[in-house]
Amino acid sequence: MRRRMVLAVSLGLALAAMVAVRPAGAQTLAVEDPVLRQIWDHAMNRSQIEPMMQVFLDSLGPRLTASPASERAQAWIVSKLQSWGIEAERQQYGTWEAWERGTSHIDLIAPRVHSLEGRILAWSPGTGGEPVEGPVVVLPKMVSAADFEAFLPQVKGKYVMISFPQPTCRPNAHWEQYAAPGSFERMNKARQEGQEAWNASLQATGLSNRDIPKRLEAAGALGIVTSQWSGAYGTTRVFNAYTRKVPTFELGCEDYSLVYRLTANNQGPRLRVTAESKNLGEVPVHNVVGTIRGTQLPNEYVMLSAHLDTWDGGTGATDNSTGSMLMMEAMRILKQVYPNPKRTIIMGLWNSEEQGLNGSRAYVEDHPDIVQNLQALFNQDNGTGRIVNLSASGFVDAGESLARWLARAPSEVTQGINFNVLGMPSGGGTDHAPFVCAGAPGFSLGALNWGYSEHTWHTQRDTYDKLVFDDLKNNAVLVASLVYLASEDPQKVGRTKRMVFPVNPQTGQQGSWPICTPATRKSTDSSRM
Ligand SMILES: [Zn+2]
């Protein structure tokens, strides 16, 4: 308790000092440390993030786990690191089902012609590039498993719509702003009740969301039509398929609801789907690891961490190309201005985060020596914005170390940070969690949202144009500075003293430190999301 009070006071003073010395423009920098000044100069005036991102996103594209595109991107990263003189390798940790996306064309051909916005989901079979035409059926309201069984004969030779049709593809905020009194409330009630009724109907089948498409496929459906609107204009989340022979594809909110209304009103819609994809079987999968060897404490480690894999509806610009390229840029700068670090600096760009943090979990399992001697790990995985949230992940003494580093880093990049001296250990969600559950000080660098949740996260709109390069440069200064300060710190970050968990008022149980989940190192049907 006493320690925390002292910390709060000293951090408060440090922050007050930062505010006081803040310069008016970005040209001057209020730190004396020559390495920190050079980090700033390289990140702000000689940034490589923009040209790297352009190649990475526009040319190499999305990096679905085990896809050929992901292999190409990994090779590019290794060669980029090596061209900067950084030791780099791909470390195999398992195998995964490789799949390559081809073209998708989905057209409405009756009662009128209209090309639809959509694509097959990841790992979906295509149509062999041939057009496959057929009528459409929607899932009926079901109250029992018997209802589903009774419906199954109707799906033969038809496309089956299995997602809730949104009553409006206008975001709620638009309704709140413009609707007449009572109108938004009526619409929103219909939206919520409709979604709940749809979910209840799916649940009544007694089957999981992954088994329903499989049963429809087995009953002779031509394909499965889905839609997962994110709540913003024009955005759809694009995850993976569960079918093995026929295509599962998504349509945007507008087109899905169009086809749904035509079907529900018996206006005879027919779809023509032409899709290509290749399933390439189980292949080796890797993490990409870059290393700058320590000179004084080579067996202690500071890590930069982000996941390299993405979903593939867009190019994964903000999830998590921003984190990956941020760590690349920080490594490039550190190699230039701090080539002989005190501790060993390792960058881990993890694979298969989206299927359950598999790359980082495997790394933690495979490198107990590094986990044991980890000084600090910094992970970033929530988009393009300036980093504004940091906590000690529940490690009581780590808060003091972080506070000291933040006090020394340039105030230009720390002044907006909401620093929680203690914080909570992450139970999952992203790649610092496997380190934290193993007792190693892993920290999450939380970014400003920039519409991440509704616009870009796992959507087909997660693309290059959403990047905010000024914020990414800010983050490169922060990450490279924190890594440098963590590496140089004469003190080892404390990890044994952990937070005392509050009692959950609902269960009466006291919370506890998260338990590590084993990595899934081989794809199976159940390892699909
Ligand atoms: Zn992510």
DSSP 338-402: -SS-SEEEEEEEES-STTTSHHHHHHHHH-HHHHHTEEEEEE--S-SSPEEEEE-TTBTTHHHHH
Geometric angle at alpha carbon 49, from 44 and 51, rounded to 5°: 120
Predicted local distance difference test score (pLDDT) of residue 527: 66
Tens digits of residue pLDDT in 490-499: 999 999 999 9
Tens digits of residue pLDDT in 13-60: 344 333 334 444 444 566 889 999 999 999 999 999 999 999 999 999
Predicted local distance difference test score (pLDDT) of residue 321: 98
- CA 320 to centroid of ligand 1, rounded, Å: 5
- pLDDT at residue 291 greater than cutoff 60: yes
Q: What is the pTM of this model?
A: 0.92
pLDDT (mean) for 260-265: 98
Tens digits of residue pLDDT in 221-262: 999 999 999 999 999 999 999 999 999 999 999 999 999 999
- CA 381 to centroid of ligand 1, rounded, Å: 5
Tens digits of residue pLDDT in 349-395: 999 999 999 999 999 999 999 999 999 999 999 999 999 999 999 99
pLDDT (mean) for 423-443: 95
Cα–Cα distance between 271 and 191 in angstroms, integer? 26
Tokens of 365: 């399992």
Cα–Cα distance between 212 and 225 in angstroms, integer? 12
Tens digits of residue pLDDT in 83-136: 999 999 999 999 999 999 999 999 999 999 999 999 999 999 999 999 999 999
- CA 358 to centroid of ligand 1, rounded, Å: 12
CA atoms within 13 A on the CB side of 12: 6
- The maximal CA–CA distance of the chain, rounded, in angstroms, is 76
- CA 211 to centroid of ligand 1, rounded, Å: 26
- E-strand ranges in 111-216 read 114-116, 118-120, 132-138, 159-161
pLDDT (mean) for 477-494: 98
- CA 451 to centroid of ligand 1, rounded, Å: 15
- CA 324 to centroid of ligand 1, rounded, Å: 10
- CA 351 to centroid of ligand 1, rounded, Å: 11
Q: Are 256 and 163 in contact (CB under 8 A)?
A: yes
- CA 363 to centroid of ligand 1, rounded, Å: 17
- CA 511 to centroid of ligand 1, rounded, Å: 26
- What is the side-by-side order of every strand in the sheet holding 387-391? 418-420, 387-391, 446-447
Q: Cα-flanking dihedrals φ and ψ of residue 10, to 5°?
A: -65, -35
- CA 97 to centroid of ligand 1, rounded, Å: 20
Burial of 278 (0-12, 13-18, 19+ CB in 10 A): middle
- CA 526 to centroid of ligand 1, rounded, Å: 21
Please report which residue ranges of 22-158 form alpha helices under DSSP H: 34-45, 49-53, 68-83, 145-151
pLDDT (mean) for 321-337: 98
pLDDT (mean) for 318-339: 98
- CA 426 to centroid of ligand 1, rounded, Å: 14
- pLDDT level of residue 427 (50, 70, 90 thresholds): confident
- pLDDT at residue 489 greater than cutoff 50: yes
- pLDDT at residue 461 greater than cutoff 90: yes
Highest mean pLDDT, choosing among 29-33, 218-222, 506-510: 218-222
Q: How far is CA 322 from CA 36, 68, 75, 77, 117, in A?
A: 22, 21, 18, 14, 26
Burial of 121 (0-12, 13-18, 19+ CB in 10 A): buried
- pLDDT level of residue 266 (50, 70, 90 thresholds): very high
- CA 429 to centroid of ligand 1, rounded, Å: 8
CA atoms within 13 A on the CB side of 203: 6
- pLDDT at residue 348 greater than cutoff 80: yes
Average pLDDT over the chain, rounded to an integer: 94
Predicted local distance difference test score (pLDDT) of residue 14: 41
Question: Which element (helix H / strand E) includes 193?
Answer: helix 183-204
Angle between helices 322-337 and 34-45 (to 10 degrees): 130
- CA 167 to centroid of ligand 1, rounded, Å: 30
- CA 380 to centroid of ligand 1, rounded, Å: 9
- pLDDT at residue 151 greater than cutoff 70: yes
DSSP 447-500: EP-TTIIIIITTBTT-SGGG--HHHHHHHHHHHHHHHHHHHH-SSPPP-S-BPP
> Tokens 């892993």 map to which residue?
442
- CA 132 to centroid of ligand 1, rounded, Å: 35
- pLDDT at residue 474 greater than cutoff 80: yes
- CA 50 to centroid of ligand 1, rounded, Å: 20
